[in-house]
Chains A and B, each alone.
Chain A
């Protein structure tokens, strides 16, 4: 994949925020002068199942409440509604938050992979862009090919952990941006 000229990148937000070029965001470890080039989340197409589940559960709850209305008293009905709504809301919000905060960050200085697995586990992997040895895009499966999403694997030099951005939109462009950022960072280092 040919490297891009980073100066030609313009701020844009695609795929419901799953692919943000030059985003209006800040990272806590961000250094002065460091620019965020790309923010990645899993493609929205990979989130369809929990959205459908939530909508179906909500419809079932409403139908169930209407059906039960003639059989049980109002207080029991309110309890059923509270339990049902809390379960559905918890399920959908939990999935949304996991999607929203499972981030890949590519800046002019570093690559960061934040894996948020729910309330009990969070893993943040970070490496300097100059330590990147290789970046590979992998698109597999029928839907991945059709809807253009896939995985990006970044191999680093030395003992630093490798970084993976899974199910991200436009993986080829991601690799291209990583290569460009890597080239620019190495050129900057050699000038200094």
Chain B
């Protein structure tokens, strides 16, 4: 009986961890997309020499977030 509960606990915990990782990655993608939109809007309002670089890095962050989400999903299924 104890062994069964213990196995159930481990399985449940493992699924919680996987769920957390996917939700985390999903939120990261959403956050990066919103930030990119904001930065593009700011870069249009105030044009600076390094504004393009900042937009590019924020776009790279979004790409990284999508890759993270894919890795998390592949790992979880």
Contacts and interface: CB of A to CB of B under 8 A. Distances in A.
Nearest to B38: A119
B54 A97 contact: yes
Contacts of A78: 71
Residues of B contacting A: mostly: helix
Given A25-B47, A119-B34, A101 B42 contact: yes
Sorted from nearest, which 3 A-B pairs have the closest CB atoms?
A26-B47, A28-B45, A101-B42
B49 A79 contact: no
A50 interface: no
Given A79-B21, A86-B64, A90-B31, A24 B49 contact: yes
A104 B35 CA distance: 21
Contacts of A28: 44-47
Contact of B61 (A24, A93, A100): A93
B39 interface: yes
A116 B61 contact: no
B76 to A, nearest CB: 10
Central interface residue in A75, A97, A122, A124, by most chain B CB within 10 Å: A97
Nearest to B68: A82
Interface of B: 21, 24, 28, 31-32, 34-35, 38-39, 42, 44-49, 54, 57-58, 61, 64-65, 68, 71-72, 75
Contacts of B75: 75, 79
A103 interface: yes
Most buried by A among B21, B28, B45: B45
B46 A114 contact: yes
Contact of B72 (A24, A79, A116): A79
A153 to B, nearest CB: 22
Contacts of A27: 45-47
A143 interface: no
